[in-house]
Amino acid sequence: MSAISHHIPDHLIRAHAAGQLPHHFAVVVAAHLSMCDACRAQAEAEEMVGGALLDRLAPAALQDGARDRLLAALDSAPPPPPAPRRSGIFPAPVMQALDGQPPRWRMLGGGIRQQVLSADEDGSLRLLYIPPGRAVPEHGHNGLELTLVLQGAFSDSEGRFGVGDVELAEDDLDHQPVACPGAPCICLAATDAPLRFTAFLPRLLQPLFRI
């Protein structure tokens, strides 16, 4: 595995550590932090800020008996469910988003597969499977898009992105990522805008309308 060369920018690591990222981006950042020691160290440094702030807060009085209640609960409270674990190429945060199951791919045509992990008015999170030499399907995005490579590689005008690399695309970036030769490229992509399948939907409708 080659070294990671495209990292999460500092301001997003900070936003993640401070708990400010929308869910879809938080999953991509957490997945990268699970694969990249340098960014993880940066995130943990940022958390020290949170800890230092917690230490400085003026204490708020707890109810009488709060401590006894807690100590009594130590033996009776059920332990938390085990934390999600990495499985194959999928780091723990991706397995969490997959509910611990392997991906359930849907065919998009041309050998390209996708699984939407979550989608709402805040944006979407999905896994993509792109055979070598194939272009990532066109998908307009109005704002920010974060794409993390989990297997294989893709390249576009911004460079080559291998396992662990993250591409950050602002809405003005006109890029056409193509999967590199070798293993199929599997990546995790988050956008902050609802997905628009500009090219794909009309193509689906073509046979129906014979256009």
Q: What residues line the site for other proteins (CB under 8 A)?
A: 10, 14, 17-23, 26-27, 30, 33-34, 37-38, 40-42, 44-45, 47-63, 66-67, 69-71, 73-74, 77, 79-80, 83-86, 91-93, 96-97, 122
CB of 124 to other proteins, least distance (A): 15
81 or 181: whose CB is closer to other proteins? Answer: 81
53 or 205: whose CB is closer to other proteins? Answer: 53
Q: Which residue pairs, CB below 8 angstroms and at least 24 apart, start in 91-97?
A: 91/31, 91/34, 91/35, 91/150, 92/34, 93/27, 93/30, 93/31, 93/34, 94/27, 94/31, 94/127, 94/150, 94/188, 96/27, 97/27, 97/125
69 or 203: whose CB is closer to other proteins? Answer: 69
| Whether 103 contacts 2, CB under 8 Å | no
17 or 153: whose CB is closer to other proteins? Answer: 17
CB of 116 to other proteins, least distance (A): 16
44 or 138: whose CB is closer to other proteins? Answer: 44
112 or 150: whose CB is closer to other proteins? Answer: 150
CB of 186 to other proteins, least distance (A): 17
Please tell me whether residue 132 adopts helix, strand or coil conformation.
Answer: coil
Q: Is 207 exposed, middle or buried (0-12, 13-18, 19+ CB in 10 A)?
A: exposed
CB of 38 to other proteins, least distance (A): 6
Q: Are strands 185-191 and 159-161 parallel, antiparallel or unpaired?
A: unpaired
CB of 24 to other proteins, least distance (A): 10
CB of 171 to other proteins, least distance (A): 18
Q: Which residues pair with 156 in a beta bridge?
A: 159
